[in-house]
Structure 1
Amino acid sequence: MARIREFDIDRALDRAMDLFWRKGYAETSLQDLLKELSIGSGSFYAAFGSKEQLYIRALDRYTSLQGHDLETALDGTPGIRSAVHGVLSALIEADLTDPTRGCLVVSAATQCGGRPEAADRVSTAIRQVESFLTGALERARARGEISPEKDPRELARFLTTFIQGIRVVGGARMGREFLEDALSTAMRALD
């Protein structure tokens, strides 16, 4: 008779995501994962297959959560300038509060480029951000909030790149003034 799994997969995935987010892929050992998840190696392999497979699932979970938050922020704030400013300010505040945390996607991009599945997840995450921003900017242009000459997709690509840059610079502890000056310049792209 097969043993019944004695742990919550979703909770374990969230804990693994948090560990990878704090330590990075390379610095997270199998022992770290087993300890964090409070499971044995047999249960680990049965549930997740391998460290890399768990990492991919953690990236997928992170992308889903972050994407939902971004979509909600863009759709839930009146006015595209307020929405974009709110999103960018929240990222700056997060990095100022905990500069070691950063972004799991940026971490994956810089640490796991040689791992095709991880690189694919990074591309997917970046395209998701671009897509949400493009949609919000298209709606804003239709409402007359941005110039008809502005290309929403180009603006979205700029802002997507800027978001990733904020996460990197935030981890470098450049400070509030540096980040807020960059934010002011980025916001002018919507003028």
Structure 2
Amino acid sequence: MARAKEFDPDAALLSALELFWRCGYEATSVADLVEHLGIGRASLYATFGGKRDLYLKALDRYQRDRLAPLLRGLSLPGPALPAVRALVRRYADESVADDLRLRGCLVTNTAAELAPHDPAAARSVEQDWDRVETVLHTALARAQAQHELPADRDPLALARTLLVLLQGLRVVGKASTDPARVQDATEQVLRLLD
């Protein structure tokens, strides 16, 4: 008869997500995970399949839990452009906030640390960026149809510009102690929507 798990796998996944987000993939050892999660090495492997598999599951959870609520406002009925602006400003604010700044964005961190040499991580990052781009593109196209955005603007190109800005905000916010860099860049890019 199989033994029942003596820990909550979901709580362990959230705890691993926090550790990976704070320390990164390479700097987090299996021993760190075992200690931080409070589970045995065998339980970690049996439940999650190892460090890389656990990281990818944590990244998926991060994308689901953090991205969906951020993007939800872009799909609500009514004016679309204020929601786009609010999303960009929220990214900027979070990128310089003391409690989030040093962690950055787990997707952005993954893009820099793992995507160049890990196809599964690269695929996950691309899928995330595709979702953000699609939601932004849809919102900007709606804004254009509602005459909030000038007709001569390309909603897809703007969505891609905003995606690159959002990712760049996380990198610069994480590395810079000057919040004006993030705030000035944000306001300059938002002028493209005028």
Q: TM-score range by the shorter chain?
A: over 0.9
Q: How many Å separate the matches in 2 of 1:32 and 1:131?
A: 37
Within the candidate set 174, 177, 180, 1:177 is matched to 180
1:100–1:171 CA contact under 8 A, matched in 2:
yes
For residues 1-191 of structure 1, the aligned pairs below 5 Å read 1-76=1-76, 79-98=79-98, 99-112=101-114, 113-191=116-194
Q: How many Å separate the matches in 1 of 2:22 and 2:171?
A: 15
Amino acid at match of 2:102: T
Amino acid at match of 2:85: H
Residue identity (%): 41
Relative to the length of structure 1, the TM-score reads 0.93
Structure 1 pair 176/76, CA: closer, same or farther in 2 (3 Å)? farther
Q: How many Å separate the matches in 1 of 2:89 and 2:32?
A: 33
Q: How many Å separate the matches in 2 of 1:167 and 1:59?
A: 16
2:71–2:87 CA contact under 8 A, matched in 1:
no
2:133–2:160 CA contact under 8 A, matched in 1:
yes
- Computed over aligned residues only, the root mean square deviation of the Cα atoms, in angstroms, reads 1.6
1:102–1:170 CA contact under 8 A, matched in 2:
yes
Q: CA offsets, 1:97-147, max 9 Å, x none? A: 232110101111111121111111111111111011111112111211112
Relative to the length of structure 2, the TM-score reads 0.92
Q: CA offsets, 1:45-96, max 9 Å, x none? A: 1100110000111111111123212222323595333222222222222222
Q: Structure 1 stretches of 5 or more lacking a match?
A: none
- Give how far 1:174 is off: 4.5
Q: How many Å separate the matches in 1 of 2:34 and 2:77?
A: 41
Q: How many Å separate the matches in 2 of 1:153 and 1:9?
A: 40
Amino acid at match of 1:106: T
1:81–1:187 CA contact under 8 A, matched in 2:
no
Q: How many Å separate the matches in 1 of 2:52 and 2:92?
A: 30
- Give how far 1:7 is off: 1.6
Structure 1 pair 80/154, CA: closer, same or farther in 2 (3 Å)? same
Question: How many matched pairs?
Answer: 191
